[in-house]
């Protein structure tokens, strides 16, 4: 199996695990109205290790899984897919412009990517209670930033299992 195919299979497995964890535990991990967005966080951090096409695909499938789990009642299915795809594509676009294998960059991109994905989602599917939505997005962004470092090291270890420590 080629290294790029092996990486793709591992990323797909990580995304599937994140979807399962999101569905099972996101509500129980709620803190003051904020829930972690494990799918988006996994897609953003996985995109750090992909090229632009791989990261766009990762974002697309993260959005598709999120939309299937959330099933927005007033539309928004496509908005979840497009917003996640665009954010992960942006992270993949940084491949040749920024040294991405850095925990601080991962932390920054996780927070920025979460806020940007939710902002794009709001642009495509405006919410009724803007202040409550803004409050929850801010808390979710903070929650994802806190989870970014441990998940980053887990993703890096999972994608490069034989790398020297």
Q: Please report the pLDDT score of residue 74 as a whole number.
A: 67
- Please tell me the predicted confidence (pLDDT) of residue 69: 87
Over residues 29-34, the mean pLDDT reads: 82
pLDDT tens for each residue of 93-116: 987 677 767 899 999 999 999 999
pLDDT tens string 32-69: 778 899 999 999 999 999 889 999 999 999 999 999 88
* pTM as predicted: 0.92
| Model confidence pLDDT, tens digit, residues 63-93 | 999 998 886 666 678 889 999 999 999 999 9
> Apex CA 89: angle with CA 72 and CA 43, to 5°?
60
Q: Which pLDDT score is estimated for 75?
A: 66
- CA–CA dist 14, 136 (Å, integer): 25
Question: Look-up: residue for tokens 């270890």?
Answer: 157
Checking 136-139 for CB contacts under 8 A at 24+ apart, the result is: 136/33, 136/34, 139/31, 139/32, 139/33, 139/34
Question: What's the pLDDT score for residue 165?
Answer: 47
């Amino acid at each position: 199996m080629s290294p790029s195919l092996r990486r793709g299979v591992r990323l797909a497995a990580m995304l599937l695990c994140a979807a399962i964890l999101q569905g099972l535990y996101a509500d129980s991990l709620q803190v003051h109205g904020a829930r972690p967005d494990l799918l988006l966080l996994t897609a953003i951090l996985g995109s750090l290790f992909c090229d632009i096409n791989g990261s766009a695909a990762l974002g697309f499938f993260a959005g598709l899984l999120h939309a299937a789990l959330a099933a927005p009642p007033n539309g928004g299915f496509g908005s979840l897919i497009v917003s996640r795809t665009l954010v992960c594509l942006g992270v993949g676009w940084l491949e040749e412009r920024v040294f991405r294998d850095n925990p601080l960059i991962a932390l920054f991109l996780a927070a920025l990517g979460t806020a940007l994905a939710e902002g794009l989602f709001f642009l495509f599917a405006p919410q009724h209670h803007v202040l409550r939505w803004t409050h929850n997005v801010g808390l979710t962004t903070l929650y994802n930033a806190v989870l970014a470092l441990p998940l980053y090291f887990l993703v890096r270890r999972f994608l490069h299992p034989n790398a020297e420590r």
